[in-house]
Structure 1
Amino acid sequence: MFNKFVGPREEKDRARFPPNNILMTLAGAGLVWMGWTGFNGGAPYAASTDASLAALNTHVCAATSLLTWITLDTFIFGKPSVIGAVQGIITGLVCITPAAGVVQCWAAILMGIISGSVPWYTMMVLHDKIKLLRHVDDTMGMFHTHAIAGSLGGILTGFFAVPKLSRLFYMVPDWDKYIGLAYGLQSGRTSAGFRQMAVQLAGIAFIVCLNIVSTSLICLFIKLIVPLRMSDEELKIGDDEIHGEQAYALWADGWRFENSKHNSVYDAEEFPSSVMEKTPSPRHDLQMV
């Protein structure tokens, strides 16, 4: 919703925007995965069997989703990618979260396959075909990795939830009501299974509406104080226009060293003239790629 209010980036910025640092991306994904173990494993608020199962299912689903995503990348594009692996990790973690403590490990594997394939399809295939998604300019792919994967997690929880695990997790007297549709069909309690599935779908719809309303109100409030979007002239200049400095300054042979108090603790006179401005080298006309 926030991207909808802000609007898309410049066309040249959307044409090609490779990641700034793949190693840092991979390190961040590893930290997220590690933290998610405590996030799901700590949900029962006790060192219990259910907590152990939640942690195990978290790893199983995330790993399966990762393998599914890079497998699809390999078959369709000819090679796997680190960014694809990270996307698979995130979709697996998001999908398993509502189900971590109430499904069996085999269900976590199936959820990993689904969370690694459906968001892959919506991101890599449908995204460029749907006008709304192209206009919103979801730079981080949050719609696919969180909205789609999270909705899948909610729906699949309503399908695979085990009644006995629900009793361990929720510790409520009417635990038998928390039954997945698959087990409802198996035990002859079809109505209870469909009821739980309806509850899951209603919860997803509520979250969608809540996000639309709350994010819209927040954006409208911020808009009263500061603009949500810079002018086209400012967007063309970028960081220099707003901050007076660049986030990533790349220096190469033949480039002029521009001393800035934003980037250095030294004064200009402390640098020798040979450092302040170098003679262009024969390679000065080469572009960095």
Structure 2
Amino acid sequence: MDQGNTAFLLICAALVLLMTPGLAFFYGGLVKAKSVISMMMMSFGALGLIGVLWVLYGYAIAFPAAEGTIAPWQIDWSALGLNSLLEVPEGAPFPPLAFVAFQATFAIITVALVSGAIADRAKFGSWMIFAALWATIVYFPVASWVFNFGLADDGSFAYGGWITHGLQEAFGVGAIDFAGGTAVHINAGAAALALALVLGKRVGFQKGVHVPHNPPFVLLGAGLLWFGWFGFNAGSELAADDFAALAFVNTIAAPAAALLAWLVVEKIKDGKPTSVGAASGAVAGLVAITPACASLHPIWAILLGIIAGAVCALAIELKFKIGFDDSLDVVGIHLVGGLIGTLYLGFFANGTGLFVGGDGTQLLVQAIAAFSVLIYSFVLAFIIGFAIEKTIGFRVKNEDEIAGIDTVVHGEEGYVLADSKA
């Protein structure tokens, strides 16, 4: 067992876990002041719920064997409750539980991302039910499609998911998704779009009506996300080596370029660059570089950041033109950014991209992976959300939404400036 790589993986897991509180601040600053507790609690609720489900059965579904599958009879039943993973196989590069912990943090942040589409109007209990069902039926299986590393008899890790290993057998080239462009961002973005359609528009929904109540929270959240993202991307190499270093550098370059591109678009379009735009641009670049961070020359990473920042800055306007209320732009940033980063590899992935020595095969398999996850997640999220809305209800009453749902749902206020008893 390599103690250095074990320490590296555990530190990266802690960094990724920090991303969920960071997301809570990012989302919390974007909503109105009377909904900030509700918004942040959906992230913390996901942290608690998915953390438990991952240990109970999530890992067993996501990593059933060397060959990825969602068939229930091929779930690794011995891994339920992590019972079979307490001992370290001889020759293993690190304890299996270190990998379990690292992947748990991915599951948590992916579910939390979805909540941004339903800000200001969702019941907390209904959200928790949705989170449990969507994680079980959608995220855990999709993680198997993409991330399913099986421990071989010699203790080494082998690819097994159909998006990586399966497409490689079929086309000679597997889809590249180093850290979760499909499994995390496209997956969450598609589910967010489905929930936005199920819950409908906020009261008075139109451009300029709902403004962020606390831009400093947004900047703090973006900073924490960027910090944690180094663990997200570099840690996905599962070793402190040259590919982890490349992923680390590209996690600086792409979001930095995206931040600048977003501000330029904002300046041209609206006349002023904003702090929220800077934060959103950085996140868009982080999303786009996620699948590509270990497969691009840093120059191509900068170009990807520029494209993602500019396109996502324009994509967030689609909700006003098409008429769906994606409250905090999960679709415009995570779905669109995830698609850009995933498909971009078809053109610029080292050695296999169309413009850097390959043919069109890499682009083909990237598209198959991206749109398979998109369709699967959207359809099932819509069904789950619709069923919840039609049974116990997913959306709060209009009067509660207008008043602010913090006190109604949680009995708390985000900001108490004076003691009412004084």
> What TM-score do the two structures reach when normalised by structure 2?
0.51
1:1-40 equivalences in 2 (<5 Å) = 1-11=194-204, 15-40=208-233
Q: Of 77, 82, 87, which aligns to 2:270?
A: 77
Q: Distance in 1 between matches of 2:408 and 2:228?
A: 37
Q: Distance in 2 between matches of 1:113 and 1:103?
A: 14
Compare relative contact order (CA 8 Å, sep 6+) and give the higher one, 1 or 2: 2
1:270-281 equivalences in 2 (<5 Å) = 275=422
| 1:44 correspondence with 2:237 | yes
Q: Distance in 2 between matches of 1:150 and 1:23?
A: 26
**How many residue pairs align between the two structures?**
228
Q: Deviations over 1:134-171 (max 9, x none)?
A: 2x2111011110111110001111111112xxxxxxxx
Is the 8 Å Cα contact of residues 261 and 309 (structure 2) preserved in structure 1?
yes
Higher radius of gyration, 1 or 2: 1
In structure 2, what is the equivalent of residue 68 of structure 1? 261
Call closer, same or farther: CA 1:49–1:14 in 2, change over 3 Å. same
Q: Distance in 2 between matches of 1:12 and 1:2?
A: 16
State the AA in 2 paired with 1:226: I
Q: Of 363, 370, 383, which aligns to 1:197?
A: 363
In structure 2, what is the equivalent of residue 94 of structure 1? 287
Q: Of 147, 150, 156, which aligns to 2:335?
A: 147
Q: Secondary structure at the match of 1:99?
A: coil
Structure 1 gaps, min length 5: 164-178, 252-256, 260-274, 276-289
Q: Distance in 1 between matches of 2:208 and 2:417?
A: 21
Is the 8 Å Cα contact of residues 291 and 342 (structure 2) preserved in structure 1?
yes
Q: Distance in 2 between matches of 1:43 and 1:232?
A: 43
| 1:232 correspondence with 2:420 | no
Q: Distance in 1 between matches of 2:300 and 2:271?
A: 29
Q: Distance in 1 between matches of 2:250 and 2:205?
A: 42
Call closer, same or farther: CA 1:56–1:12 in 2, change over 3 Å. closer
1:84-163 equivalences in 2 (<5 Å) = 84-124=277-317, 126-128=318-320, 130-131=321-322, 134=323, 136-163=324-351
Shift in Å at residue 244 of structure 1? 4.8
Shift in Å at residue 17 of structure 1? 2.2
Call closer, same or farther: CA 1:55–1:244 in 2, change over 3 Å. closer
Q: Secondary structure at the match of 1:113?
A: helix
Q: Distance in 1 between matches of 2:338 and 2:300?
A: 16
Is the 8 Å Cα contact of residues 285 and 305 (structure 2) preserved in structure 1?
yes
Call closer, same or farther: CA 1:222–1:103 in 2, change over 3 Å. same
Q: Secondary structure at the match of 1:229?
A: coil
Q: Distance in 1 between matches of 2:269 and 2:208?
A: 21
Q: Distance in 1 between matches of 2:398 and 2:207?
A: 15
Shift in Å at residue 200 of structure 1? 0.6
Q: Deviations over 1:224-279 (max 9, x none)?
A: 6521122334333333444455443456xxxxx744xxxxxxxxxxxxxxx4xxxx
Q: Distance in 2 between matches of 1:45 and 1:243?
A: 40
The percentage of counterpart residues that share the same residue type is 33
In structure 2, what is the equivalent of residue 208 of structure 1? 374
Shift in Å at residue 7 of structure 1? 1.1
Q: Deviations over 1:39-66 (max 9, x none)?
A: 1111111111111001101110000000
State the AA in 1 paired with 2:310: S
Is the 8 Å Cα contact of residues 353 and 362 (structure 2) preserved in structure 1?
yes
